[in-house]
Amino acid sequence: MLRFLTQRRGRDRLDMTDWIAFGVLGLGVFLMLGPVLWLVLSSFKTEAALQEYPPRLLPLAPQFVEVEGFETALQRFRVISGEHEGRELAQIRRVGLNAQMIDPANPEERLNVHINDREAVRAVQVETENYTGLFTRFNFLLYFWNSTFITVVATVLTVLFNSMAAFALAKYRFTGRTSVFLLIIATLMIPPTVTLVPLFLVVSQMGLINSPWAVIWPAIATPTGVFLLRQYMLTIPDDLLDAARMDNASEWRVYWKIVLPLSAPALAVLIIFSVMWRWNEFLWPLIVLNRSEVFTLQLALNSFQGELQTAWSSLLAMTVLTLLPITLVFAFLQKFITQGIAQSGVK
Amino acid sequence: MRKTIAVSALALMTAGASQAQELRFMCYQDGNECDAWAAAFQTFEAENDGITVVVDVVPYQAIIESLPIQLEVGEGPDLARVTDYGGLARFMLDVRPHVSDPDMIEARYGPSLAWARVGDNAPDGIYNIVDQLTATGGFANATLFEQAGVDMPAPGSSWAEWADASRAVRDATGIDFAMAIDRTGHRFAAPAMSFGAALFNEDGEALVIDDGFRNFSEQFVAWHEDGTMARDVWAGAGGGTYQDAAGEFINANLAMYYSGSWQIGRFGRDIGDAFDWVATGSVCGPEACTGMPGGAGIVGLNHTEHPEAVGKLMEFVARDDVQAQVLAQTRNLPANAELQANGIDYQDVTPEVAAALTAFAASVPNFSETAYALQGYQFNRAVYTNIPARLTQAIVGELTLSEALDRLEQDVADAIAEAR
Amino acid sequence: MAALVRALYEGAFNLFEKPMQMLQYSLGAHRMAWVFLLPNLLIFGLFTYLPIMLNVWYASTSGDRILLGDRDWVGTANFATLLDCGSYLDPNTCRRDLFWRAVHNTGWFVVLQVGFMILLSLIAALILNRNIPLKGFFRAVFFYPVLLSPVVVALIWKWILQRNGVLNAGMDWAGMDTVNWLLDPSWAFFWIVFVSIWANMGFYVLILLAGLQAIPGDVYEAAEMDGTPAWRQLFRITLPLLTPTLLVVMVLSLIRAVQAFDEIYVLTGGGPGSATTLLIQYIYDVGFATRPRQFGLAAAASLLMAGVLLVLTLLQLAATRKRAEEG
């Protein structure tokens, strides 16, 4: 019964457990991806269509038609009841409850239709301006570069420092080891929202305000990263390390050439997390970066939120754009998560 | 924004060479306010050789949360576009010594200048130029009223009349909601004052829960119980969270909506020709017919290294022609008395939008003194956020109304005590 | 690309090898542990421990000022205010009733959310670890919601859950009565648990997936040959060998559940009333959102919360250690 959870390698033909697994995955795709796909579709809607409900799946827009004798295009309607039922007309104007309409094929005749008797003709129409507008509105490439710089530098340092600390905590026995480990875990307990203000005092004393390093330095010693890597490294057999030490390998070599490669799955996970955290970070950059030269994409994205109104169409388009790079990073790195000890033949 | 970036890059390059002064302006926008100012500042830069202005467009959250923290440790921009005048008062720069004609500014912006003259600020100081005056007031869906065959209450009608009429419209047309009020104490305060709430005690401290306040609160909770008010707006959230009902109104699912002038542009764009809508002006209670003023303004900040340049810029911002030009693009109401009298030639607006702008502008001079006092009150944000938090608890039944009002009074007092 | 990464990897090794060898020579291999710990601890000290100490100062002072010197010393008054209660079970008897409502809500939230989170992410990770077609795609699917910002997560779910939203449209179509999901306190609470699991599950799935790689395949092969049934393999092999990683997931999910805030705040605003107001929202409301700010109270509340969390985490660590010793 629980076989679909434990079965690890598929055989040549699909059996019952595969079908259950696919069933669960199908449900997962529907629940997890459905809303995201809808987000992507919505980013092509106009601001007015986003406000509309019941919300529609596809970006539909009203259709217009050029009619002889009118300067601007007229909106098309389908008459759904009453005297002109079934006809497709263009609306000249609406006065109160009545719409003055015209048949584009026969522009001489004016018709009066009650507004509840007509229904707008709509067709799928992609609002690409949500996207193109972003590039003319602000310096997208500059913000992209700022975000990339912060993300890459912070991730490299995070992985390096965290894995070094994790190595020390997992593979050495020394007095104070447990205390240091607990001290690192304990920092998870204080919510980041609360330390924001005191941290700002520290960072401003160091003169880092409006520098990308104000975002990078506080971010790189993540307790989550140390914890995650330390727990993973615990599963690496000590014999391997001792064998290398017998061959006169330095501690640095043991760390870099043996422990790091064997920790590839956990490192891949931490890289994904770190990239995601830094790329999406908002609250902290909002406080330490206030000049547009150093803005990140998230700051630009959220500048569509005013006091009383939010420009959702631009915000959604920007969200989709900022998602693309991390999607690629994930697609590239997820392979390494399953290339661990199990595959490398080490026991 | 591209131009601003280019200007800033240029400024960075030339900064070493000459004694160029660069002013940083932190700006948030609901629509296109920052873009309009960035364009206007090019004129300023042309007129004032050696001063450049860089507009940094930020989320509103940066203005309300980050800016005060930055200012307290001596960081932050030279100017900012803000709404919390009381909270930022001690960081504001008095530009009176740096402007050529302070009396002209005083004559035009008198009432809103008072909003920043709180705490230790000079009683005649010039701290803020409001570039987006807002007024609270109602909107009605005229087409729904017509469909229902219900006469729309005339200007100057009471809350009770509007409630009856919009309920009739809801029942006749099958829409979901009769009335809605934005979820914030700022909107709630207007009908409360119309019901006779004094809000302040003799020492000028808020918040006093008197009979007027109690009466409207009772009415408000009752309207939620009988379904007159859209429950989704107030009961759908908690704490001091802001929540509007513009979506319901735009979708013709709401007969009467009490919000404010800033919605006009959005309604013009998103409703289009779908139905007719009108601004109702102030709605009356038993005691008064007042709305609430409000609005964003530009302030200079006192840690700036270039106070004179900031003064010049503030004077530029206050100028009639500049305000007229910017407000025509942003479609906001003027705080400038001269422009209020002469009107603004708004760019490509429909007759409906123009009529609404006029109706709201006309209601502003009739707002009560208490309304202006609350808007100019140093701790008004404590009032604005705590009212929805506590009244919602009464609406959903977590507390009785009298418990909720006691807690409300205590909450505001606690918050103010923290700052004293 | 791969060659470049390899070259950089080798280059970095060579760059640090000499100085590290010198250090090892002068300090001895044993003390190298501290060398490896040093960079991390320095950064922690400056950017984490120092702010936490300052936070203790904030908790002991009052006023809406940020600069430490501008604040008035009040000792434990902020803690006393928070703990001033007639009965801790009835928030209405407390001086700060909203704090205790938030405590109660958070308690229930943690119990429900952590339990389901661990169970569901474990199932998902086990399935995704199978050798199935389109593995990469399915992994991405489960991880994707983690990438979305809280504002966007809340927006999507508002579309789904609102009165005229997708879910009600679907229920209407199926002939069921519609429910105004976010206006009913119990349903709203259910949905914040659901949405927070939806938004964060991928995080734990990924950690568990990495942990599963550390289990050698031949253990299973041996079990297969012995004819051990599948469910017994799961409880006898997979779960015990996964314990170090499961501990990470348990500790992190507990801490993050207690500190849940963003997407819930934007989705329900803590409402209806205070039905979904959690602790961090209370802290945020008093300390940041309202003016004048009550930083001292916010800091005190955060320290109380940290204290409780620390105890819970130590219990978790102790429990797994004990089990490891027994097993």
Mean predicted confidence (pLDDT) in C148-162: 86
Q: Which of A102, A124, A146 is the last residue of a domain?
A: A124
Both B9 and B141 in one domain: the answer is no
Both B145 and B118 in one domain: the answer is no
**CATH code that applies to domain C87-326:** 1.10.3720.10
pTM of the shown model: 0.89
Res C45 pLDDT > 50: yes
Both B330 and B396 in one domain: the answer is no
If pLDDT is split at 50, 70 and 90, which confidence band does A10 have?
A: very low
The whole-angstrom distance between A140's CA and the closest CA on chain B is 9
Q: Which of A68, A90, A124 is the last residue of a domain?
A: A124
Both A231 and A112 in one domain: the answer is no
Both A119 and A198 in one domain: the answer is no
Say what angle helices B307-318 and B33-47 make with each other, to 10 degrees: 120
Both A28 and A117 in one domain: the answer is no
Q: Which domain holds residue B32?
A: 2-133+294-358
* Chain C residues near residue A35 by CB distance under 8 angstroms: 145, 156-157, 160
- What is the residue type of C243? T
Given CB atoms, is A92 within the 8 Å cutoff of chain B?
Answer: no
What backbone torsions phi and psi does residue A232 show, to the nearest 5 degrees? -70, -45
Q: Tell me whether residue A136 is in a domain.
A: yes
pLDDT for C247-289, tens place per residue? 999 999 999 999 999 889 989 999 899 999 999 999 999 988 8
Both A102 and A151 in one domain: the answer is no
Q: pLDDT at position B19, please?
A: 65
Q: Which two tokens stand for residue C82?
A: 């928070």
How many domains are contained in chain B?
2
Facing A286 at nearest CB: one of B66, B247, B251: B66
CB contact under 8 A, A47 and B270: yes
Both B201 and B98 in one domain: the answer is no
CB contact under 8 A, C136 and A331: yes
How do B199-200 and B277-281 pair as beta strands?
unpaired
pLDDT for B327-341, tens place per residue? 999 989 999 999 988
Both B173 and B243 in one domain: the answer is yes
Both A241 and A147 in one domain: the answer is yes
Q: Which of B334, B358, B382 is the last residue of a domain?
A: B358
pLDDT for B228-245, tens place per residue? 999 999 998 998 889 999
If pLDDT is split at 50, 70 and 90, which confidence band does C107 have?
A: very high
Q: pLDDT at position B6, please?
A: 47
Q: Where are the beta strands (DSSP E) in B274-380?
A: 277-281, 293-300
pLDDT for B73-115, tens place per residue? 999 999 999 999 999 999 999 999 999 999 999 999 988 999 9
Q: pLDDT at position B274, please?
A: 86
Mean predicted confidence (pLDDT) in A256-265: 92
Res B25 pLDDT > 90: yes
* Chain A residues near residue C211 by CB distance under 8 angstroms: 231-232
The whole-angstrom distance between B258's CA and the closest CA on chain A is 14
Q: Which domain holds residue A93?
A: 60-124
Q: Which two tokens stand for residue C108?
A: 């229930």
Both A119 and A143 in one domain: the answer is no
CA–CA distances in Å: residue A209 to residues A23, A199, B92, B128, B247: 51, 12, 21, 26, 39
d(CA A243, CA A143): 49
How many domains are contained in chain A?
3
All residues at 6 or more sequence positions from A199 whose CB lies less than 8 Å from its CB, including other chains: A218, A284, C47, C51
Q: pLDDT at position B13, please?
A: 47
Instruction: Compute, in degrees rounded to 10, the torsion defined by CA atoms B311, B312, B318, B319.
Output: 160
ipTM for the predicted complex comes to 0.89
Using CB atoms, list chains with 3+ pairs below 8 Å to chain A. Answer: B, C
User: What mean pLDDT is reported for chain C?
Assistant: 90
Radius of gyration of chain B (CA): 22
User: What mean pLDDT is reported for chain B?
Assistant: 91
CB contact under 8 A, A136 and B2: yes
Both B227 and B146 in one domain: the answer is yes
Q: Which of B339, B358, B377 is the last residue of a domain?
A: B358
Both A166 and A230 in one domain: the answer is yes
Q: Are the C-beta atoms of A276 and A155 separated by less than 8 Å? A: no
What backbone torsions phi and psi does residue A318 show, to the nearest 5 degrees? -65, -40
Helix (H, G, I), strand (E, B) or coil at C275: coil
Given CB atoms, is A47 within the 8 Å cutoff of chain B?
Answer: yes
What is the separation, in whole angstroms, between the first and last Cα of chain B? 41
Q: pLDDT at position A267, please?
A: 94
Q: Which of B307, B334, B358 is the last residue of a domain?
A: B358
CATH number of the domain within which A69 lies: 2.30.30
CATH number of the domain within which B37 lies: 3.40.190.10
Q: Tell me, rounded to whole angstroms, the distance of Cα B142 from its chain centroid.
A: 25
Q: How crowded is residue B288: how many other Cβ atoms within 10 Å of its Cβ? A: 20
Element (H, E) at A38: helix A34-42
Q: pLDDT at position B186, please?
A: 95
Res A251 pLDDT > 70: yes
| Top mean-pLDDT range of A179-183, A211-215, C8-12 | A211-215
Both A116 and A176 in one domain: the answer is no
Mean predicted confidence (pLDDT) in A301-330: 88
* DSSP one-letter string for A106-171: EEEEEEEEEGGGEEE-EEE---THHHHHHHHHS-HHHHHHHHHHHHHHHHHHHHHHHHHHHHHHHH
Q: Are the C-beta atoms of C185 and B396 separated by less than 8 Å? A: yes
Q: Tell me whether residue A49 is in a domain.
A: no
Both B240 and B375 in one domain: the answer is yes
How do B21-27 and B79-82 pair as beta strands?
parallel
Q: Which of A84, A101, A124 is the last residue of a domain?
A: A124
Q: pLDDT at position A301, please?
A: 87
Q: pLDDT at position C217, please?
A: 78
Count contacts between A and C (CB, < 8 Å): 317
Both B298 and B349 in one domain: the answer is yes
User: What mean pLDDT is reported for chain A?
Assistant: 86
DSSP 8-class letter at A1: -
Given CB atoms, is C121 within the 8 Å cutoff of chain B?
Answer: no
* Chain A residues near residue B246 by CB distance under 8 angstroms: 51
Q: Tell me whether residue A53 is in a domain.
A: no
Res A73 pLDDT > 80: yes
* CA nearest neighbour of A262 among A171, A342, A333: A342
Given CB atoms, is A333 within the 8 Å cutoff of chain C?
Answer: no
Both A72 and A93 in one domain: the answer is yes
Mean predicted confidence (pLDDT) in B16-23: 70
Q: Tell me whether residue A267 is in a domain.
A: yes
Q: pLDDT at position A13, please?
A: 59
Both A100 and A210 in one domain: the answer is no
